Amino acid sequence: MNEMRQTRQNRIQSFAFVISVCLAVCFSFGFVSNLGRDELPFDRCDIELEGRINPNNAPVESMVRLPGMGPGRAGAIVEYRENFNGKNAGSPAFQNCDDLQKIKGIGPKTVQNINELLKFD
């Protein structure tokens, strides 16, 4: 009697496993078929700026929108700019993108990524 019960339980478990695998395969095909379309099954997060940003006068809120620029880095830019302007009145803190590397945490890769989104007047 125990042997029959065990055999029946094994069949039920095997059947449940087969059903689970079939459902997983069906869902996989659904996701793969959506990837070929122009619309992705999830929202993309592309940053669109209205114009170029000047780090010599832009507020933190504007600079945070740049790729790879968080509140800490943007705040450090503003702090550096304010300290620089206090010492060298009339001269901009940043002449070009490379000057941003004076800020801790901003390296060549970050400068390369945001170069086209900045202006220096």
Length of the chain as a residue count:
121
> Could you report the per-residue pLDDT of 57-98, keeping only the tens digit for each?
999 999 999 988 999 999 999 999 989 877 777 789 999 999
- pLDDT at position 31, please? 63
Give the span between the Cα atoms of 55 and 81, in whole angstroms. 8
Give the span between the Cα atoms of 121 and 96, in whole angstroms. 9
- pLDDT at position 24, please? 76
- pLDDT at position 44, please? 45
Domain ranges of the chain: 1-44, 60-117
In CATH terms, the fold of domain 60-117 is: DNA polymerase; domain 1 (1.10.150)
Per-residue pLDDT averaged across 31-47, rounded? 52
What pTM does this model have? 0.57
